[in-house]
Structure 1
Amino acid sequence: MSADEHHRPFENRRLLVVSTNYAPELTGIGPYATQLAEHWAASGARTDVLTGMPHYPAWRVDEQYRGRWRGQESREGVTVHRRRHYVPPRQSALRRAWFEASVLIHGTLAPPPGRPDAVVSQMPSLAGGVMGARIARRHGVPHIPVVQDLMGAAAAQSGIRGGGRAAAVAGAAERYALRDAAAVGVIHESFVPGVLALGVDPARIRVVPNWTHVERPSADRAATRARLGWREGTQVLLHSGNMGLKQGLDVLIELARLAPDIRVVLMGDGNQREGLRERAGGLPNIDFLPPAGADDFTDVLAAADVLAVTQRASVLDMSVPSKLTSYFVSGRPVVASVADEGGTADEVRRSGAGVLVAPEDPAALLDAVRKLAGDPEAADALGAHGPDYVAQHLSREAGLARFDALLTEVLGDAPRRPSR
């Protein structure tokens, strides 16, 4: 292999990434789909993305995209094909079903033109997985679904209204998306049993962990705290990211009631935000902040004393929060109020950067936060394990290299297209 082929290994390949979430979304699955597509474009591939209108985590379509039916744009060498879909302002099984159906119908009616060499789909979107499978079958090319969440399990575990009935439907869609895949990527080994239960051959499963997609903090911590109005000496417990049902964020509201001396910060958006604000009932020690911009996101995380990740007790094997990679980069200790046997707990233990407490137990969460507050040197030492863990296991280079290896394996000796 020549030096040029080494740096552009997918020259003259045509790749299609199907992901309901994509840039300019800054949190959740969008950044991973974006960086993957842009990486492959830089590696010589003609890369197309089939996606929706930006809407996450606010569950409102971005203002600049409102009123659009379809669109095509070029972002960092990637051709992005956008299709309009329903965005539910509140979550229920029926609304989620219509969201998925609208994504599937519009994307299936208007797929990107041309025949790709391989299709990569990002799931938790059931529609994305089904569309990826259909497009790959139509053209007789490999399909690589990447399981970020198991939606069948999510419907059963997240507490969404009507979730039990939706679980069977979601599981059937997942089986369809995965059954003929050339390879199935999972972001954590805790997903493997669920994927096996959907009938996937274990020889086709590859673990491809998410990487950190943010930069290390660079601003002065005291200056950031002053800008945010966080007084020196006040303990700040911060949760960043989506405010949905599966996060079980009521536990933070209850902690704030128990501990008026601790400032609880909920930074982000989501369909439960307004309900949480109402339940907070004007507590003076709770702040609701909008999502931080990419330029100061990790600076805000690093300015907090403790970072919280919370999940409902029923959430076991369907989700590993993408926020963890950003938390670890910040260098602050993590307190995880999650089920001990789930993938999130596994990741916190593996990092050495946090402590685990029982889910939905505000007193246990408060006790852990107070112990860290009482020993700031130990808290700093705990948080310092996060960047080390990221450097060793979760770097962008390592994450993208795993996908390169997976794509190379699947493409095998398939002939390349003539140079354009």
Structure 2
Amino acid sequence: MSDGERHRPFEDRRLLVVSTNYAPEVTGIGPYATQLAEHWAQSGARVRALTGMPHYPSWRLDEAYRSVWRTVEVRGGVGVHRRRHYVPSRQSALRRAAFEVSVLATGLLAPPPGRPDAVIAQMPSLAGGVIGARLARRHRVPYIPVVQDLMGAAAAQSGIRGGDRAATLAAAAERYALSGATLVGVIHESFVPRVTALGVDPGRIRTVPNWTHVQGPTADRAATRARLGWDPATSVLLHSGNMGLKQGLEVLVDTARLAPDLRVVLMGDGNQRDALRTRAEGLPNVDFLEPAGAGEFTDVLAAADVLAVTQRASVLDMSVPSKLTSYFVSGRPVVASVADEGGTADEVRRSGAGVLVAPEDPAALLEAVRKLAADPVAAGELGAEGPAYVARHLSREAGLARFDDLMTEALDGRGSTGR
């Protein structure tokens, strides 16, 4: 392949990206869907994105879209088709089901016009996977769902109210969305057994890890700490990202209660933020910060002493937090309070940039943080493994190249098993 063909491999191809989350959302799946779509547009493809209204991670409709029901925007050369849907401010199985049904209804009733040459869908949401599958079948074109989270497993493992009943329905929707796909992408190999159990031939599964979608820190670390009001002599344990049920962030509040000399910072938003604030009442060493802007995000991460990733003990094989890619690039050591046999633990071990502790165990978490604080040289060496791991495996260029290969294989028909 010539350099020109390599850089514009999808010239004039009509590609449809289905993702409930998209820019201007800056955390979670939205940045990946956006960067992928814009990358293909830059490679010469005619790309459209079918998506929802910005709402994540706050689970509140973005103010700029409050009166919008249907719109088409152009972002980075991509035609972005947005459809209004229900946004639940609190999570339960029933509310999540209503969210998915509303996304499904508006997406199927008003899909973007024209016939694509291929459809790729980010899962979750379930609705996005079903919409992508139906559109691909309608037009008889290759279909590639990319599994970022497994919602059936999530409903069973996350502790959401009514989750057991929801798990069966979610698994049925996932089976529909995945079983007839040309190829299936998964962001971590730990997802493969469950995806196979949903009826996907293992020969059609490809691992396409998320990449680091943020730039490394640039600001002076001491200056950032001073701006945030963090005492140079106080250890700061920071969690960034979604505050949902599966994160089990209560362990961080309880860790703060055990250690008045430790500052615990929860930066982000989500449906459990208010409950966590209530739990932290009377604790002066717990701070809640709004999500940092793109220009300062990794500077804030780098200003902390330790970065925390937490999950409920029941979360095993349904999720690998996208925050890890940003954590690694920041150069700070990671403490992962997660199940040892899950995909998140695998990724932390593989990076060499963090330590593992038992989930939902504030004493164990505190002990790990104290050990790092007592040995700043070892902590620095551990943190330095993160950027090195990113450079080897998680660069944007490497991540997007994997998706180029995935799309090329699907379009060439090599991944098809008789659509």
Q: TM-score range by the shorter chain?
A: over 0.9
Instruction: Render the CA deviation track for 1:105-132: whole Å, top value 9, x for unaligned.
Output: 0000000000000000000100000000
Instruction: Render the CA deviation track for 1:55-109: whole Å, top value 9, x for unaligned.
Output: 0000001100111100000001000000000000000000000000000000000
> Does residue 377 of structure 2 align to residue 350 of structure 1?
no
* Sequence identity percentage: 81
Trace 1:321-400 onto structure 2 (pairs within 5 A): 321-400=321-400
CA distance in 2, matches of 1:134, 1:145: 12
CA distance in 1, matches of 2:259, 2:6: 56
CA distance in 1, matches of 2:149, 2:57: 16
Summarize the Cα distance change of 1:384–1:2 in structure 2 as closer, same or farther, 3 Å threshold.
closer
1:201 aligned partner: 201
Instruction: Render the CA deviation track for 1:385-414: whole Å, top value 9, x for unaligned.
Output: 000000000000000000000100110179
CA distance in 1, matches of 2:163, 2:324: 26
> Does residue 110 of structure 2 align to residue 110 of structure 1?
yes
Name the SS of the counterpart of 2:360 in structure 1.
coil
Instruction: Render the CA deviation track for 1:274-313: whole Å, top value 9, x for unaligned.
Output: 0100010131000000000000000000000000000000
Write the letter of the residue equivalent to 1:306: V
Name the SS of the counterpart of 2:350 in structure 1.
helix
CA distance in 2, matches of 1:96, 1:311: 20
Per-residue deviation, 1:7: 1.7
CA distance in 2, matches of 1:353, 1:54: 32
**C-alpha RMSD of the superposition:** 0.8
Tell me which stretches of 4 or more aligned residues in structure 1 moved more than 6 Å.
none
> Does residue 72 of structure 2 align to residue 98 of structure 1?
no
1:145 aligned partner: 145
1:187 aligned partner: 187
TM superposition score normalised by structure 1: 0.98
2:80 aligned partner: 80
Trace 1:3-402 onto structure 2 (pairs within 5 A): 3-402=3-402
Per-residue deviation, 1:3: 4.0
Name the SS of the counterpart of 2:260 in structure 1.
coil
Structure 2: stretches of 5+ with no match in the other structure: 415-419
Instruction: Render the CA deviation track for 1:351-383: whole Å, top value 9, x for unaligned.
Output: 000000000000000000000000011101100
Write the letter of the residue equivalent to 1:160: I
Per-residue deviation, 1:12: 1.2
Per-residue deviation, 1:47: 0.2
Instruction: Render the CA deviation track for 1:325-354: whole Å, top value 9, x for unaligned.
Output: 000000000000000000000000000000
Per-residue deviation, 1:2: 4.5
TM superposition score normalised by structure 2: 0.98
Name the SS of the counterpart of 1:27 in structure 2.
coil
2:417 aligned partner: none
Structure 1: stretches of 5+ with no match in the other structure: 415-420
Name the SS of the counterpart of 1:287 in structure 2.
strand
Name the SS of the counterpart of 2:282 in structure 1.
coil
Summarize the Cα distance change of 1:367–1:5 in structure 2 as closer, same or farther, 3 Å threshold.
same
Per-residue deviation, 1:19: 0.1
CA distance in 1, matches of 2:38, 2:148: 19
CA distance in 2, matches of 1:249, 1:283: 15
Write the letter of the residue equivalent to 2:23: A
Per-residue deviation, 1:192: 0.2
Summarize the Cα distance change of 1:315–1:413 in structure 2 as closer, same or farther, 3 Å threshold.
closer
Summarize the Cα distance change of 1:391–1:72 in structure 2 as closer, same or farther, 3 Å threshold.
same
Number of equivalences? 414
CA distance in 2, matches of 1:30, 1:337: 25
